[in-house]
Chains A and B, each alone.
Chain A
């Protein structure tokens, strides 16, 4: 039996709609489950109190600060490096062996599992460089992890800036540096900003790489050499060690809200703001 094109169209349409709805339902199921269980836990005290009794009671303030510090270190290091490298690749060199090697290694390393970065960070930063389990070790490890993505997204953004812009700038007597700063950079900013936002989200959500490098300590971190525990790892420990399901859900709910805020709200905001500016 051969289906008439019209029947096939109907069946396919139904299948495709149901696949899409299925994905939405799964997403809603995961998020609602965590939010329903976790939101009631979140209050001012939970956000501002230091965890007590292994996290069984008290809040999660030190893990929030720890996450922020580790992420900040990673971003402060990876963003300038990533953007600089991207500009070098896109504007300062000709296509050739070197650019291809850099691109290939960035692409390959972007796909390397975070656990491998954790492995590297643990032996190299924690043990070999004697930084110990610390905000610094964790942040450096994360910066290595997000660097390839930073390079590639920024480069992508720079390449898509039309050549006419550059030519216009040059023809007005602009030097290369002026062209980059005044013309290319502002036009590529939106793409670069999206890359940074995604990287922040990845740092916050990361567990495997920081578990081996930042430590598991619940005290409030006071310096870059303090050990700390990030929210994602705190959630993992609370949930798997069966310490406190309530606090685990609370932490997870906060993580999801944060990720939603960063990946969706801020990203949309940046896109809107940038496109208005044009």
Chain B
């Protein structure tokens, strides 16, 4: 009986693992199956480097969206990364414990707020501000970057903070004992030692920014043209899928799945990079 139970439990866990893997495999295979046809029909280079996206006339080029995705993501990183790292240093080194107890749940809450709420807030606050003070239609790379910067903060702060506080205590003590100031210690000892964790945090943050859909649909403007400034509207991979999926059929739908594949591959590369960096550190 005991042995039977042992065997059975092992089997059950194996079955559960197997179902999970098949579920994960199913999605991957399905998306590739659905989108691969586009790469064949349109041609890989024409799809990636095509300048015109006009499904009505069977033109499927996503280059403007690549530029859109890259600029918005980099913009979000430029705003979000310094703030995020500062916050993680704040939490790890400067914050009095009372403030920590407010700050941590606040970050959790920030992570949980539905993305549509961010988008809506952006549309009501950020977009008019940009339109009135900087010009242009307001719906722009800048608006998207600001909203995404806020949305990736929790990822960056939590992961960087963990890598900062998990450093051995004597790193810091040794440096302080040598008479360095707290800031010098942070700059020359703690940040370099926690580098790999922080870099991984930034990369995962970038992935999060790139994958966000509903918030950016509302503030980016979604134009399929190369932007001429950060005040111009652009479209990203996700907004392309989000805004057109409901309407698409046939080749158009396949092209959207193909957009999904491109996004999938980029995010997978980013994640592998983050993993590689963390793992290299662990060795």
Contact = CB atoms under 8 A, between A and B. Distances in A.
Interface of A: 5-6, 8-9, 12-13, 15-17, 19-20, 22-24, 26-27, 30-31, 33-34, 80-85, 87-89, 91-92, 102, 104-120, 122-124, 144, 147-148, 151, 175-177, 180, 201-202, 204-208, 212, 232-233, 235-236, 239-240, 248, 252, 255-256, 259-260, 262-264, 267-268
Contact of A208 (B117, B213, B268): B213
A108 B34 contact: no
A84 to B, nearest CB: 3
Given A24-B106, A175-B6, A252-B120, A113 B263 contact: yes
12 contacts: A5-B180, A31-B109, A88-B16, A112-B27, A115-B242, A116-B27, A147-B23, A176-B10, A207-B214, A259-B109, A260-B109, A260-B112
Interface in B205-258: 207-208, 210-214, 218, 238, 241-242, 245-246, 253, 256-257
B181 interface: yes
Contacts of B110: 23, 27
Interface string B8-26: 0110111111011101111
B103 A116 contact: no
Nearest to A10: B183
B117 A5 contact: no
A102 B90 contact: no
Contacts of A118: 245
Contacts of A180: 9
Interface of B: 2, 5-6, 9-10, 12-17, 19-21, 23-28, 30-31, 34, 82-83, 86-87, 89-91, 94-95, 99, 102-103, 105-118, 120-121, 125, 150, 153, 157, 180-184, 186, 204, 207-208, 210-214, 218, 238, 241-242, 245-246, 253, 256-257, 260, 263-264, 267-268, 270-272, 275
A13 B121 CA distance: 30
A9 B275 CA distance: 33
B5 to A, nearest CB: 6
B87 A124 contact: no
Contacts of B2: 175
Contact of A23 (B13, B16, B83, B114): B83
A120 to B, nearest CB: 5
Contacts of A80: 16
4 shortest A-B CB distances, which residue pairs?
A: A84-B16, A113-B211, A19-B86, A205-B114
Given A9-B182, A116-B260, A147-B23, A259 B120 contact: no
A235 B118 CA distance: 12
A85 B17 CA distance: 4
A207 B207 CA distance: 18
B5 A259 contact: no
A99 to B, nearest CB: 10
B158 to A, nearest CB: 11
A4 to B, nearest CB: 9
